Amino acid sequence: MNIGLVAHDAKKKLMQNFCIAYRGILSKHHLYATETTGILVENVTNLSIHKYLAGHLGGKQQIGSQIEHNEMDLLIFFRDPLSPRSHEPDVNDIVKLCDMYNIPIATNIATAEALILALDRGDLDWREMYR
């Protein structure tokens, strides 16, 4: 499955730790990330990650395009709701696309853990029918 990884600046360390903890599961799938998030995760996990542009330079739109073309099966977007920055990707556009195209999305660690464990159990295999 194709998994997208995006994190606001204040949540990048959380994304690294999440990917370290679930490296075994993530290694079985194709990973995509905005540039900085992808580099940081790749450095601590040695996972192979396709990196798009930085979110504010078009990476958010590249991931959005993947969603619109049914090429994304799961998105983990750790957002910082308390201190949004103008240069960080707007989560609302991505959430809207995920809702429109039935893509499971996690915007916090609790939901991300539930989805990644569901993925490992095969609970998201229904996504294969959409292809």
Domain 1-57+93-109 has CATH 3.40.449.10: no
Q: What angle do CA 58, 64, 65 make, to 5 degrees?
A: 90
The whole model's pTM is what? 0.91
What integer pLDDT is reported at residue 80 of this predicted model? Answer: 85
The DSSP secondary structure of 65-130, one letter per residue, reads HHHHTT--SEEEEE--SSS--TTSPPHHHHHHHHHHTT--EESSHHHHHHHHHHHHHTTTGGGGGG
| Beta-ladder partners of 84 | none
Q: What pLDDT is stored for residue 45 in this prediction? A: 97
> Where along the chain do its domains lie?
1-57+93-109
Please write the tens of the pLDDT for every residue from 71-89: 999 999 998 888 766 655 5
Burial status of residue 116 (CB atoms within 10 A of its CB: 0-12, 13-18, 19 or more): buried
* Per-residue model confidence as pLDDT tens digits over 109-121: 999 999 999 999 9
Predicted local confidence at residue 130, as pLDDT: 66
Examine the pLDDT at 67 and tell me if it is beyond 80.
Answer: yes
Reported as a pLDDT band with limits 50, 70 and 90, residue 44 is very high
